[in-house]
Amino acid sequence: MINQLPQDETISRTSHQRRAYLQRMQAKYQYTYAYAETIAIARHLPWREFPGLRYWFLAALNLARLIPSLPALLLAFSRYLLGRPLLTYRDYVFFPRSPQPNPQLIETFQQDSEFGLQRVIGVNPVALRAATLRQPMPQSLATQSIERIFAEQVHEIDYASAIAGKRVYVLDYAALAILQDNPGFIDGGQKQHVTTPIVVLFQQGDGTLRPIAIQLDQAKGGNGRIYTASDGDLWRVAKALAQIADGNHHILYTHAVRIHYVMEAVIMASRRQLHRSHPLYALLDPHLQFTLNVNHQHTFLKNRKGQPGRFGEIFAGDYDATMQCMADAMTSFNFAGSAFPRDIAAREVDNPDLFYPYRDDGMLLWDAIQEFAARYIDTCYRSDNDVALDHEINAWAYDIGAQDRGRIRGFPNQFLTRTALAETIGHIIFLCTAHHSCIHFNQYSYPGFVPNMPYASYVAPPSGHETSFDAGTAQKMLPAFRAAYTQTWTYYLTNFRVNRIGEYPLQRFDPEARAVIGRFGDRLRAIEGLIERRNRERVVRYERMLPSSIPNSVSV
């Protein structure tokens, strides 16, 4: 098939066929907002979106690796049914003879250093921001108290200098108030709890982060209790509640909505508005594979009887609150603002001394993908005017952003220059490859070991008046055998890959475009070597941005 821009179709018959094809696709791919009002999804899943046999074969092969552990799982389940609770953290390893979530985490997950590391290499490395003069601490945190705690906890630098030097960081989970106010109930009426913590961290001399203060709620008037390492058991509980908040934020904000459902809108528009011979369709198609199927199998959705999906149940809020939280995540999302360098700048996490592999490796991938998109677009459009004349790509842009279509805020509503188009195409490719790799493929490693990052607490959080929190109650914060369900799902979701960044069916491209793809492959190989060299120097390896481990689409 020869790739052709719509305005270059010189034969009226082919031009007519092209329009007729797109009309058929628009009839097949229709929007609905039945799920959450700000999230557009496909009304029905067309057959072409179902994965083929190879996909299911690899998925089955992946699950087969759990088989050696099934006797141990059944034994643990039988004991649980007979009334023996999960007593130790090691009991939360349900597949002892299969690949482990993160073996050393059993020993380290309650340490401050591990908590700090997970902010920069964990599942949600985009929640962190610097506290600066431009973006000070949240108002519900009393600044005077933080200054006092900082002076007690940090001796190498004073608070004002640390703020000026971008060495103070904050996590703020205010957006989870809707889950806190509308708790879920599962397993025979057991109440699920989440809080809305604010966490303050200090960047140490070696670049790693250390948590120094946690307030569990968005206290009015800045008078909430702030926990520190000197609170002993209560400090561990505060960190656990911060992990719970981060787990909910990771799935509901960063992952499901701001990757999976943003890509759903992009895929819908691509199928509806770009003819399969459009050169940008040829480029994007490998990045659009499997995602609609994943999103529609997703167990957030209600089943045919109107009951919540099982995965949705394990989050802390009730079903409606969980949906509303996801709707809020989309409302507060801005596509243009989420471009990697803009996101880094907006969160002010640009202090080069901060150990932040997501940022440092991500910039390599962002630059490489941007360059690739720009060179590819140069092969399709000889001038900016060519872009402005391309009515298919402009209809595509409209579909993604419009209120009666994809509802993605901040998406350009038209393209007039090659530069603007290339940045957006590169942004989409980065989102569904490198960024999704970071947000998705650490799930077994971190929330997969449930004591490290449960999605809800099953006892009430401290009220602020306690002087201690006994170990037995802390243990009851964890879900019981339901944790096996989380571990199984995260195992399945993160241990198989069906494609790899940089793979394109070369027969669909002309020689000039093939040369561009070839140079992109060379650059990815160079990045692989560079990240490997960086990893040898790092306190901890970071593998999520290694091109060899990055899938080509949101494939699972």
Q: Enumerate binding residues for Fe ion (CB under 5 A).
A: 440
Concatenate the DSSP letters of all residues of 467-519 into one string. S---HHHHHHTS-STHHHHHHHHHHHHHS--S--TT---GGGS-HHHHHHHHH
First to last CA, the chain: 29
Q: Could you tell me how many residues make up the chain?
A: 556
∠ Cα 88 496 99 (to 5°): 30
| Between 89 and 496, CB nearer to Fe ion | 496
Least Cα distance to 132 among 166, 101, 155, 104 occurs for 166
| Between 35 and 469, CB nearer to Fe ion | 35
Shortest distance, position 338 Cβ to Fe ion, whole Å: 16
Token representation of residue 105: 């985490």
- For residue 40, CA distances in Å to 192, 326, 438, 552 come to 29, 12, 24, 23
Note whether 226 and 215 are within 8 A (CB): yes
Radius of gyration of the chain (CA): 24
Shortest distance, position 555 Cβ to Fe ion, whole Å: 9
Note whether 65 and 505 are within 8 A (CB): no
Alpha-carbon distance of 360 to 374, in angstroms, equals 22
The whole-angstrom distance between residue 285's C-alpha and the CA centroid of its chain comes to 21
Note whether 299 and 310 are within 8 A (CB): yes
- For residue 212, CA distances in Å to 108, 139, 149, 464 come to 18, 18, 8, 17
| Between 225 and 249, CB nearer to Fe ion | 249
| Between 119 and 440, CB nearer to Fe ion | 440
| Between 264 and 390, CB nearer to Fe ion | 264
Burial degree of 147 (CB within 10 A; 0-12, 13-18, 19+): middle
| Between 440 and 508, CB nearer to Fe ion | 440
Note whether 200 and 211 are within 8 A (CB): yes
Q: What is the DSSP letter of 309?
A: P
| Between 281 and 441, CB nearer to Fe ion | 441
Please give the residue whose beta carbon sits closest to Fe ion in the complex. 440
Shortest distance, position 300 Cβ to Fe ion, whole Å: 12
Shortest distance, position 101 Cβ to Fe ion, whole Å: 17
| Between 167 and 440, CB nearer to Fe ion | 440
Alpha-carbon distance of 199 to 217, in angstroms, equals 10
Shortest distance, position 255 Cβ to Fe ion, whole Å: 6
Alpha-carbon distance of 494 to 437, in angstroms, equals 10
Shortest distance, position 51 Cβ to Fe ion, whole Å: 15
Alpha-carbon distance of 528 to 361, in angstroms, equals 10
Shortest distance, position 315 Cβ to Fe ion, whole Å: 15
Secondary structure (3-state) at 83: coil
| Between 115 and 446, CB nearer to Fe ion | 446
Shortest distance, position 551 Cβ to Fe ion, whole Å: 10
| Between 435 and 440, CB nearer to Fe ion | 440
Shortest distance, position 533 Cβ to Fe ion, whole Å: 28
Shortest distance, position 224 Cβ to Fe ion, whole Å: 34
Shortest distance, position 443 Cβ to Fe ion, whole Å: 8
Q: What is the 3-state secondary structure (H, E, C) of 331-348?
A: HCCCCHHHCHHHHHHHCC
Q: What is the DSSP letter of 310?
A: H
Token representation of residue 120: 């920069």
Least Cα distance to 165 among 154, 173, 174 occurs for 154
Shortest distance, position 330 Cβ to Fe ion, whole Å: 16
Shortest distance, position 436 Cβ to Fe ion, whole Å: 6
CB atoms within 10 A of CB 431: 23
